[in-house]
A and B are shown apart, each in its own frame.
Chain A
């Protein structure tokens, strides 16, 4: 298949639980590739296997054409990892966090200091250079983690929920940084719960559930394939349903609203108003969230 990451029938089990169930995928040079799925779908397990910190149960997984089982050091030296859980070193300042981390990659001291300064300005934390970690806000910690992930000039970035718990400003700032990293040639793999994030950033993505890949494709392709271009949301009532049943449209009922999937929202809305007294009708573009909910259902998972 080729590609920066290549997985073939990759499987991971914990006792009787199959966290990743014989999946195959490949990530190409320079793309931003997303893993989406509800909690427990196996996304983080895949990230950990790519990082060579969780051994696979079976199948094959190679990163940079190297086997994760036999060449963990070589692979990890070229990876940048943004973990889901903050693990900055609380005994150090921002700057020290970066220079100390650089030592694990055997980056010479002077070089490490230069990169640390550059990265602090890249993530807009110059002013916090000598501040201890505990004094940072959640968004700042996230940005510092991104800077730390970049300290070894990685060829591949692994981001597990890069914007988790951030306010809109913080989230947009991270998005902007990720786009500029991709523009400069980085390959980026990310997991996210935020469908808007995946839709904006990812060239390609997979939606997972129960350790399996349900679908794979670009956000636009997935939307047009599974939902259609537009969605009409209509108040749920008996006459509306009767009406819709006579029209050539696909619809789904979610509680007190009915979603009509269509490529011709104007015509359908007009017909609804003329024939079946629908109350309010709301037209919008279909999003990845519609695809996600359609494929993975609306059951809450803990």
Chain B
């Protein structure tokens, strides 16, 4: 029983990552389009359109204010949706995990590979988006470049959270619940398009202590505006700790689901 509880992770998990990488680049034309198009649309519609009326927030042009939030949202969406719907399809419909664990790969290797891939996808998407934002001149250099390595860590956080949902969902439709009840509210209430200070005190506290996206926005905004505060380090620590916790939890839940 004791040996059962120890995670069995090896470098073979990188071959699971590689499988997803290969599939991604088979259809790269389709996969690279969203991170190019999305920020342009948001910048034009919300940044420049709505921004005309908003003007500035805390002395920052509105379009510069939302640019880091767009990066944070893209990090969140890329890995969350990869490790919920896409992982579920591979696990349940395609039986890809079954095929993998019939080889020297352990289930922990498979899940770890999936999580690393989810994080990689966040890195790819946010890097492409960062390039667009740099071209628009709405983010500071060179500090904004730190978002590239950060997006892998933050992507891993959302990958691990997503994998926990995937491990307990009764079916693919039930994954709509975390998507609508967890991701969508965060998208709006994590200091993304307006400052948290305008919200009631309790909501502010919840957002800063519990919502993962709030931590991402704090960090990306600190970097794109070149203004570090103690909150930056709090959020970084928060992300590292919750990622570690959700990583272990997702492995455990997946074992419970698949090893019978």
Name A residues whose Cβ lies closer than 8 Å to a Cβ of B: 14, 51, 53-55, 69-70, 72-74, 76-77, 79, 81, 83, 85-92, 96, 100-101, 103-106, 152
Contacts and interface: CB of A to CB of B under 8 A. Distances in A.
B259 A83 contact: no
A101 B103 contact: yes
A40 to B, nearest CB: 16
Nearest to B94: A90
Interface string B1-45: 001100000101001001100110010000000000000000000
Nearest to A69: B3
Given A87-B95, A152-B103, 10 more contacts: A51-B102, A55-B259, A73-B10, A77-B103, A85-B98, A87-B94, A101-B103, A103-B15, A105-B103, A106-B15
B104 A76 contact: yes
Contacts of A91: 23, 26
A53 B259 contact: yes
A104 B101 CA distance: 9
B104 A104 contact: yes
Contacts of B3: 69-70
Interface of B: 3-4, 10, 12, 15, 18-19, 22-23, 26, 94-96, 98-106, 259-260
Contacts of B106: 72-73
B101 to A, nearest CB: 5
Contacts of B19: 89, 100, 103
A87 B15 CA distance: 17
B102 A81 contact: yes
Nearest to A105: B103
Nearest to B14: A103
Nearest to B95: A87
B82 to A, nearest CB: 14
B23 A101 contact: no
Nearest to B27: A91
Contacts of A51: 102
Contact of A83 (B4, B15, B98, B105): B98
Contacts of B99: 83, 87-89, 101
Instruction: Tell me what chain B mostly uses at the interface: helix, strand, loop, or mixed.
Output: helix
Contacts, number: 67
A152 to B, nearest CB: 8
Contacts of A103: 15, 18-19
A144 B96 CA distance: 15
A86 to B, nearest CB: 8
Contacts of B94: 87, 89-90
A137 to B, nearest CB: 19
A54 B260 contact: yes
A86 B93 CA distance: 11
B93 to A, nearest CB: 9
Contacts of A14: 260
The residue in A55, A88, A90, A96 that gathers the most chain B C-beta atoms within 10 A of its C-beta is: A90
A105 B259 contact: no
Nearest to A90: B94
Nearest to A104: B103
B104 A73 contact: yes
What are the 7 tightest A-B residue pairs by CB atom distance, in nearest-first order?
A: A87-B95, A104-B103, A87-B99, A81-B102, A91-B23, A103-B15, A73-B104
A69 B4 CA distance: 9
Contact of A87 (B12, B96, B105, B260): B96
B83 to A, nearest CB: 17
Contacts of A79: 102
Contacts of A100: 19, 22
Contacts of B104: 73-74, 76-77, 104-106
Contact of A53 (B26, B95, B96, B101): B101
Contacts of B100: 104
A76 B104 CA distance: 5
Contacts of A86: 95
Contacts of B103: 76-77, 101, 104-105, 152
A53 B102 contact: yes
A210 to B, nearest CB: 19
Contacts of A88: 99
A68 to B, nearest CB: 12
A122 to B, nearest CB: 20
A107 to B, nearest CB: 10
Contacts of A85: 95, 98
A91 B12 CA distance: 20
Contacts of A90: 94
A61 to B, nearest CB: 15
Contacts of A77: 103-104
The residue in A55, A83, A104, A106 that gathers the most chain B C-beta atoms within 10 A of its C-beta is: A104
A225 B99 CA distance: 40
Given A85-B95, A100-B19, A100-B22, A106 B260 contact: no
A79 B103 CA distance: 8
A106 B23 contact: no
Nearest to B100: A104
Given A55-B259, A104-B12, A83 B102 contact: yes
20 contacts: A14-B260, A53-B259, A55-B4, A73-B106, A74-B104, A76-B103, A76-B104, A83-B95, A83-B99, A87-B98, A89-B19, A92-B22, A96-B22, A100-B22, A103-B18, A104-B103, A104-B104, A105-B103, A106-B12, A152-B103
